[in-house]
Amino acid sequence: MKVAFLASEAIPYVKTGGLGDVVGSLPHYLTRLGLETSLFLPLYLDVKKKNLALTPVAEIRASWQGKEVICPLWEDKSSEFRVFFLQHDGYYSREGIYGTSMGDHPDNAERFAFYSLFSLLAMKTLNFKPDIIHAHDWQAALSLAYLRYLFKNDPFFKGIKSLFTIHNLAYQGLFPPEIIGRIHLPPDVLNWQEMEFYGQVNFLKAGLVYADAISTVSPTYSREIQQPEFGFGLDGVLRERAKVLFGLLNGIDISSWDPATDPHLPYHFHRQDLSGKKKCKAELLRLFNFSPDAGANALAGMVSRLADQKGFDLLASSLDELFSLGLRLVILGQGDKKYQDLLLNLQEEKKDFLGVKIAFDESLAHLIIAGSDLFLIPSRFEPCGLTQMYSLRYGTIPVVRAVGGLEDTIEEFDPVTLKGNGFKFKEYSVAGLIAAVKRALAIYKQPALWFRLIQNAMASDFSWERAAREYAQLYQRIIISQ
């Protein structure tokens, strides 16, 4: 089986969030299952800066906005699966893959329309005819519109099936209707059954209406997005396509996230010997200038985008009470300026309880996940979430809101049955978060129960091997469907 991945980011090349983790990892595990996978990415400036030994493999010549364009195609020959990069310096050789601190790039519609179209042309140029095109999020969704309209009579694309994966329905790619005339799609798509959305063009909607099947990144999220509360205006479209909507839980790369070998950690540990975890906690406290005796208290960590979605309004309203319980908290992330400023100001006031770093720091992220006792994820909504899976693997106990993939991966710990791997709260409220933290701290104060909880957490299996098998089965189901 041949699968072509279309997405705007993928580790280790370029990443802004969980999309990059998924798209960079899943093809590896599919390849190991015997599938032939290829990934197509824009050649961003961020990729160029890595000075990879890319090999020129072809030139794509095609008309774009009334002019012939030559798009060089490069390949990373060192990858376990085939990875291709489409070069258009005018679109991609700039700072920020989606935008800068000043906002989104104003030509994002054209940038990702070009990417979607020329990825299909690259397949034809390479004579790589996939059985499945697996497109991800709004940046790649137009590939399915082009299949429907530009290539419907092209014999090369005949019989190719498609899967569209929603990683976060909140990000839809909304643009003014006049963009249609500049991206090689007919004006007919501007109707409510196709790409029109309250007077705008909705790129993500193209994926929903043109794909043979749709998937999301957790079973619970696949149900939530069919409801108005989580549907962001597209719940009706998703209910109409419910028969071909699937929820497949993401996985994590357990070779990269292994506390016994993690190169980012100053000390290693495993289920049978947790002494290295205690040393990681001490190092974390030192880095954030907490007093040495703070180690007796529970330490919570957060590694997150600082945004409403991630529950930072709820967290901010809860901090005084959390600190009154003796909890310490370290936060790593960047995002909305209002939360960056708020947290930095609070850190000045609460320096004995709160440590904040506004940055992307991979090594510190690993240390926070390894050295914390608790990991807070109070999200408004969470399609899947990966950090709770990482924290489980490192024996750091998640306290999460029971939505999306958080609901699917975390089971409330029961001190009687000794089952469960974390703590959950349902209502999006200060009271809900505080109550969940109190339950966690009550167990933390009982070493035998806490040790058992850590053992449960570290035994949880959310590896990509499991997820890849589920995707391979779904691909087969789509291929044989009429």
Residue ranges making up the domain that contains 168:
2-251+465-480
C-alpha distances (whole Å) from 273 to each of 256, 267, 395, 454 are 20, 12, 11, 12
Give how many domains the chain has, as a whole number.
2
Q: Containing H/E element for 277?
A: helix 275-287
Shared domain for 120 and 26, answered yes or no, is yes
Q: Is the pLDDT of residue 413 over 80?
A: yes
Shared domain for 435 and 476, answered yes or no, is no
Mean pLDDT of 188-195: 95
Encoding tokens for residue 216? 């999301």
- The pLDDT value recorded for residue 16 is 87
Q: Is the pLDDT of residue 276 over 90?
A: yes
Q: Is the pLDDT of residue 353 over 70?
A: yes
Residue 429 placed within a domain? yes
Shared domain for 241 and 287, answered yes or no, is no
Shared domain for 38 and 185, answered yes or no, is yes
- The pLDDT value recorded for residue 294 is 72
Q: 105: left (phi > 0), else alpha (psi -120 to 50), else beta? A: beta
Burial tier of 472 (Cβ tally within 10 Å: 0-12, 13-18, 19+): middle
Closest CA to 88 of 75, 77, 74: 74
Phi and psi torsions of 218, nearest 5°: -165, 150
Q: Read off the CATH number of the domain in which 19 is found.
A: 3.40.50.2000
- The pLDDT value recorded for residue 292 is 73
Shared domain for 242 and 383, answered yes or no, is no
Question: What is the C-alpha separation between 142 and 120, in angstroms, rounded?
Answer: 10
Question: What is the C-alpha separation between 79 and 85, in angstroms, rounded?
Answer: 13
Question: What is the C-alpha separation between 156 and 376, in angstroms, rounded?
Answer: 49
Residue 103 placed within a domain? yes
Q: Is the pLDDT of residue 102 over 90?
A: no
Residue 417 placed within a domain? yes
Shared domain for 73 and 221, answered yes or no, is yes
Q: Mean pLDDT of all residues in the chain?
A: 96
Q: How many CB atoms lie within 10 A of CB 60?
A: 21
Answer whether 166's CB lies under 8 Å from 231's CB: no
Residue 259 placed within a domain? no
Shared domain for 54 and 196, answered yes or no, is yes
Residue 82 placed within a domain? yes
Answer whether 225's CB lies under 8 Å from 216's CB: yes
Under the banding of pLDDT at 50, 70 and 90, the label for residue 275 is very high
Shared domain for 246 and 339, answered yes or no, is no
Residue 267 placed within a domain? no
Under the banding of pLDDT at 50, 70 and 90, the label for residue 360 is confident
Shared domain for 200 and 330, answered yes or no, is no
Mean pLDDT of 68-76: 97
Chain length of the chain: 482
Residue 188 placed within a domain? yes
Under the banding of pLDDT at 50, 70 and 90, the label for residue 482 is low
- pLDDT tens by residue, 278-332: 999 999 999 999 987 777 899 999 999 999 999 999 999 999 999 999 999 999 9
Shared domain for 153 and 297, answered yes or no, is no
Shared domain for 224 and 238, answered yes or no, is yes
Shared domain for 360 and 324, answered yes or no, is yes
Residue 431 placed within a domain? yes
Mean pLDDT of 417-425: 98
